[in-house]
Amino acid sequence: MNHIVPRDLAAAMAEHATAAKDWSPWPYQELALKIMLCEAQCGLFLDPGMGKTSATLATIKVRVARRHVRRALIVAPLRAIYEVWPFEVSDWKDFHSLGIALLHGSPKWREAALRALKPEHQVVLINFEGLAWLFEKKERLRLLDANMLIIDESSKVKNTNSVRFRALRPHLMKFLYRHILTGSPRPRNYEDLFGQIYILDRGAALGSYITHYRNQYFFPTGFEMREWALLPGKDKEINAKIAPMVLRLDAKDHLKLPATPERIHKITLPDAVRKEYDRIEESLMSELFDAPLQNSTSARSKLCQIANGSVYVDAAPLDGQRARAVKVVHTAKIEALTDLYEELQGEPLLVGIGYHHDVAAIRRAIGKDVPCLNSDTTKGQFASFIKDWNKGRLPLLLGHPASMGHALNMQKCDGRHVAFFDIPDNYDDYDQMFRRVWRQGNKAPFCMKHHLVVTATVDVAKMANLRRKGRGQRDFLDAMRAYAETKYGSRNPLYNRNRR
């Protein structure tokens, strides 16, 4: 197959194809395939590692064979369009007939790729940031000639004011078949659902505009009434409207996964740092910084940094060229991480970090060559670090949850320890990072979450916030799963909880 992809990706795909196997779907994947073939618009809310990608490719293949679909446009995070979808096509013989075209790179490459499309290129991949470019000109849509839309990690379109959503919205009717894929549809609250469900039904269930949705199901609250809280009982109404459009399956019901114990490492601030921390909380002023902290947002950021052990003492440069000045205020959290690292005696440990100075501090304590997956990591380094991790060569790997929350398989070394040096605010990033390791194929008896929490600081508040968001998401997904069990459990022999 002559794929329209960069040369290095084409070579990697060809190498994978030599070891390809027949696709043998799990029973729950057969159910997902059946539903996607029966419903022109539906969502798959499946946990990471359950094979949403291959089930979707099987759907495309069948739709193309039946001449329902000319071409499918798959919108996914950047790493997924390079490292997940192409190799899913190559790794399974069943999908070798599907031609791939990648619309990412320079404007010249994207234009050339569009004009080079042939009927055998049934799958076109683009990242979310490329949507504005694609829909900018009618000629590009004509060349694309796709009537199937797949949104992978649909929580990326939860913000209806984003450029990506506004670019996509006017063109939804051009796609007869529309599907959304995610394991975490409401990482914050029920507001996050509107944009995703709109992709499917263009407002039929939840309303045509986010303002209508809020007015019907929420009430204003928070600072200057700029936040929205769900009205009592409205969650059940929303669940009932959404459930017929989605399939929710929980990995624990269908796969044998490691247990997930948690461990809280409680850390105490030194007395001098505690006084400075409390002073910032009380007055939003500090002797650590060149200028007073003007608002609660900047104060909170500084409090998070102090809890971790280092702080920026100057403003971020506008040109982004100058390195910011950093002051180390304590090493208590670094010492706790070092103790954990030494306790594990070489067992692989994945550590979630927040700030760049966290990485520098950890490297000073443990070793200057400790690898890190963040915005400074090149594409080549990223691939090399993941490969070494999966082969068990890395006893310690740092990573920012936002840089590695999706499209990474890191379970092959049977790693069983994930630590959060910085407690994330974003539940989706937090959950998805852990699920890079806790997924099908990890044969460890457990995967433990380690939380490094400084007592009586913002760390405690962030932990409480994560647990609140986690409960909300689980309640919603449980409601979706209950509907799926009722609808498909008794009548569909493919639906069962038997584990292989």
State the CATH architecture for 262-464: 3-Layer(aba) Sandwich (3.40)
Task: Check whether 490 has a pLDDT greater than 70.
Answer: no
Is the per-residue pLDDT at 79 higher than 90?
Answer: no
Instruction: Output the pLDDT for position 289.
Output: 66
- pLDDT score for 10: 93
Q: For residue 434, what are its two tokens?
A: 């852990």
Q: What is the pLDDT of residues 17-73, one digit of tens each?
A: 999 999 999 889 999 999 999 999 999 999 888 889 999 999 999 999 999 999 999
Q: What is the pLDDT of residue 497?
A: 37
Strand-strand pairing, 227-230 and 218-221:
antiparallel
Is the backbone of residue 474 left (phi > 0), alpha (psi -120 to 50) or beta? Answer: alpha
Task: Assess whether pLDDT exceeds 70 at residue 322.
Answer: no
293: pLDDT confidence band, cut at 50, 70 and 90? low
The pLDDT of residue 499 is: 36
CA atoms within 13 A on the CB side of 418: 28
CA torsion through residues 63, 69, 74, 75, sign? negative
pLDDT at 191 over 70: yes
What confidence tens digit (pLDDT) does each residue in 335-345 have? 999 999 999 99
User: What is the reported pLDDT for 493?
Assistant: 40
Residue 292: the pLDDT is: 60
Amino acid 408: pLDDT:
81
Stretch 294-302: mean pLDDT = 76
Query: Once rounded to an integer, what is the mean pLDDT over residues 154-182?
Result: 95
pLDDT grade for 319, boundaries at 50, 70 and 90: low
Q: Give the pLDDT of residue 299.
A: 80
Residue 491 has pLDDT above 60, yes or no: no
Cα distances from 53 to residues 34, 69, 179, 220, in angstroms, run 14, 17, 12, 38
Question: Residue 4 forms beta bridges with which residues?
Answer: 101
Lowest mean pLDDT among 80-94, 295-309, 350-364, 481-495: 481-495
Distance of alpha carbon 480 from its chain centroid, rounded?
A: 20
Q: Which residues contact 144 (CB under 8 A, 6 or more apart)?
A: 71, 73, 114, 117, 124, 134
> Could you give the CA distance from residue 421 to residue 429 in angstroms, rounded to a whole number?
14
Q: Please report the pLDDT score of residue 184 as a whole number.
A: 83
Computed over every residue of the chain, the mean pLDDT equals 90
Q: What is the pLDDT of residue 356?
A: 93
Residue 495: the pLDDT is 35
Amino acid identity of 3? Answer: H
Cβ–Cβ < 8 Å for 5, 13: yes
Beta carbons of 257 and 251 less than 8 angstroms apart: yes
At 22 the pLDDT is 94
Which pLDDT value is given to residue 492? 45
The pLDDT, as a whole number, for residue 297 is 72
CATH 3.40.50.10810 fits 7-249+479-488, yes or no: yes
- The 10s digit of each residue's pLDDT in 116-125 is 999 999 999 9
Q: What is the 3-state secondary structure (H, E, C) of the chain?
A: CCCECCHHHHHHHHHHHCCCECCCCCHHHHHHHHHHHHCCEEEEEECCCCCHHHHHHHHHHHHHHCCCCCCEEEEECHHHHHHCHHHHHHHEHHHCCCCEEECCCCHHHHHHHHHCCCCCCCEEEEEHHHHHHHCCCHHHHHHHCCCEEEEECHHHHCCCCCHHHHHHHHHHHHCCEEEEEECCCCCCCHHHHHHHHHHHHCCCCCCCCHHHHHHHHEEEECHHHCEEEECCCHHHHHHHHHHHHEEEECHHHHCCCCECCEEEEEECCCHHHHHHHHHHHHHCCCCCCCCCCCCHHHHHHHHHHHHHCEEECCCCCCCCCCCCCEEECCCHHHHHHHHHHHHCCCCCEEEECCCHHHHHHHHHHHCCCCCEECCCCCHHHHHHHHHHHHCCCCCEEEECHHHHCCCCCCCCCCCCEEEECCCCCCHHHHHHHHCCCCCCCCCCCECEEEEEEECCCHHHHHHHHHHHHHHHHHHHHHHHHHHHHHHHCCCCCCCCCCCC
Express each pLDDT in 439-469 by its tens digit: 888 999 999 999 999 999 999 999 999 999 9
Confidence category of residue 187, pLDDT binned at 50, 70, 90: low
Give the pLDDT confidence score for residue 320 in this predicted structure.
Answer: 60
* CA nearest neighbour of 413 among 442, 446, 371, 370: 442
pLDDT on residue 486: 82
Domain coordinates of the chain in residue numbers? 7-249+479-488, 262-464
- The C-alpha atoms of residue 15 and residue 2 are separated, in whole angstroms, by 14
Write down the pTM of the prediction.
0.80
Asked which of 80-84, 185-189, 367-371 is least confident by mean pLDDT, the reply is 185-189
What is the Cα–Cα distance from 417 to 29, expressed in whole angstroms? 29
Q: What is the pLDDT of residues 17-29, one digit of tens each?
A: 999 999 999 889 9
